[in-house]
Amino acid sequence: MIAIIADDFSGAAELAGIAAVCGFKAEVQTRFDPTSDAEVIAVDTDTRLKSEGEAVRIVGDVMQQIIAAKPVWIYKKTDSVLRGHVRVEIEAILDATGQHDCLYIPANPSKGRVIDGGRYLVNGVPLNETVFANDPDYPRRTAVVRHLLGESGRIRVPDVTTMDDLNHPIDAGTLTAGAADFFAMRIASLGGEHCDVRRHLTQAKMRVLLLCGSLAAWDSGRAKEMKKRGFVVQTLDEPTSPAILQQTQKLMLAIGHPPGADTATLTDKLIEKALPLVAGQNDLRIGLEGGATAMAFIRRMNWNRFEVIPEGHTGVGSLRPQGGSILCVKPGSYPWPEGCF
């Protein structure tokens, strides 16, 4: 069994989806269940927005359970721009496993996110000059990676400007951690010739409900993007009825970006608005944008285990809870790939 530890649901789904495309039977769990027959289990600890002390405790507890299951490989998934309690969660895993250090690569060069000279750049722009500078929970005020991470003698962060830079010799005493590109490179080496993390499959025409609780997505122009793809876009202040999906086929509900609003409260309102639309509708395809949005939704649906469907959409995890619709789960800071909806 390969174990992935992520601090939010969208990250867990993203990496489990990559593993599934590589031919592995994969599952996403919100509570670790070692009785699963999945070859890859991605566990969402849901610690990104918790306190640092609580995050360390939760990760430590989960790691004791995972170690008891004797995984062949552990990967720590983090946010690509280092939001959350990255350093202390990595160190908690090192303490639990006894590994001596961590090779940490948060860069995603395939998406224009690189580390050059120790500075994080997004499509050539320093991180602190992008939309992430105004993140409501972890504003990125610097592009210097060691300042974002904090001091640690056990975590190595190399420069990565191309996909070739992801290749590093790694021994059993080194924990691997980071974003999706690094994981894809590592899992592809185990998946053999049939692994292609760039593969896209054409979807049958389905009714689609897209829930966007990500401020980064909204500020990046997601509404305009999805309107071009045939979506009707509504924010929380607009009336919605269950009949609208029969009329439009594609609906995006979003929190928008009202000034001074609390993101968690807005997310809760978004889920409340969506629940009447999904009740008894197992033929929907549901897009969940942003880890907090995804977790809020699945909690209301009382789901905790998800089969991963190997659809192969880069950056998106396609999941099916027992008796539920297909969920497409994605971090909020990337666009939806073509063909996903």
Looking up residue 246, the CATH number of its domain turns out to be 3.40.980.20
Q: Which two tokens stand for residue 67?
A: 């170690």
Residue 214 and residue 178 in one domain: no
Residues 182 and 219 in one domain: no
Distance CA 276, CA 291 (A): 21
| Residue position matching structure tokens 């509570």 | 31
State whether 252 and 293 are in the same domain: yes
Cβ(175)–Cβ(76) below 8 Å: yes
3-state secondary structure of 178: strand
Residue pair 154/95 in contact (Cβ under 8 Å)? The answer is no
Contact 158, 168 (CB under 8 A): yes
Within a domain: residue 228? yes
pLDDT digits (tens, 9 = 90+) for 318-336: 999 977 888 999 988 788 9
Interior angle at CA 258, CA 257 and CA 261, nearest 5: 105
Do residues 97 and 187 share a domain?
Answer: yes
d(CA 256, CA 269): 12
Structure-token pair, residue 116: 């050059």
Of residues 257, 317, 309, 311, the one with CA closest to residue 288: 317
Residue 200 lies in a domain: no
Task: For 181-219, write each residue's pLDDT tens digit.
Answer: 999 999 987 754 445 444 433 344 578 999 999 888 888
- Are residues 232 and 188 part of one domain? no
Kindly state whether residues 242 and 97 are assigned to the same domain: no
* Residue 180: CATH number of its domain: 3.40.50.10840
Residues in the chain: 341
CA 27, CA 40: separation in Å to the nearest integer? Answer: 6
Specify whether the CB–CB gap between 328 and 288 falls below 8 A.
yes
Helix, strand, coil: what percent of the chain each, to 5?
35, 25, 40
Q: In the structure encoding, which two tokens stand for residue 238, read together? A: 């607009």
- Domain with 313, as residue range(s), is 208-330
Residue type at 270?
L
> Is residue 189 located within the same domain as residue 130?
yes
Q: Are residues 125 and 171 in the same domain?
A: yes
- Contacts of 255 by beta carbon, 8 Å cutoff, 6+ apart: 212, 213, 215, 218, 235, 236, 261, 263, 266, 267, 269, 270
* Final residue belonging to a domain, choices 135, 167, 194: 194
Domain membership flag for residue 341? no
Query: Does one domain contain both 158 and 25?
Result: yes
Quote the number of domains for the chain: 2
**Rounded CA separation 45/43 (Å):** 6
Tell me the pLDDT tens digit for each residue of 215-269.
888 888 999 999 999 999 999 888 887 778 778 889 999 988 777 778 888 999 9
326 assigned to some structural domain: yes
- Same domain for 261 and 156: no
Same domain membership, residue 287 and residue 233: yes
What is the sign, positive or negative, of the torsion defined by CA atoms of 26, 32, 36, 40? positive
What interhelical angle do 9-21 and 291-301 show, nearest 10? 90
335 within domain boundaries: no
Would 81 be classed as within a structural domain? Answer: yes
Q: What's the rounded Cα separation, in Å, for the pair 319 and 325?
A: 8
Question: Do 212 and 189 have their domain in common?
Answer: no
- pLDDT, residue 195, reads 54
Domain end marker among 194, 227, 244: 194
Average pLDDT of the residues of the chain: 90
Does the residue 339 lie in any domain? no
Residue 219: Cβ-neighbour burial (10 angstroms; 0-12, 13-18, 19+): middle
- C-alpha R_g of the chain: 19
pLDDT score, position 323: 74
pLDDT tens for residues 103-115? 999 999 999 999 9
What are phi and psi for residue 225, nearest 5 degrees? Answer: -60, -45
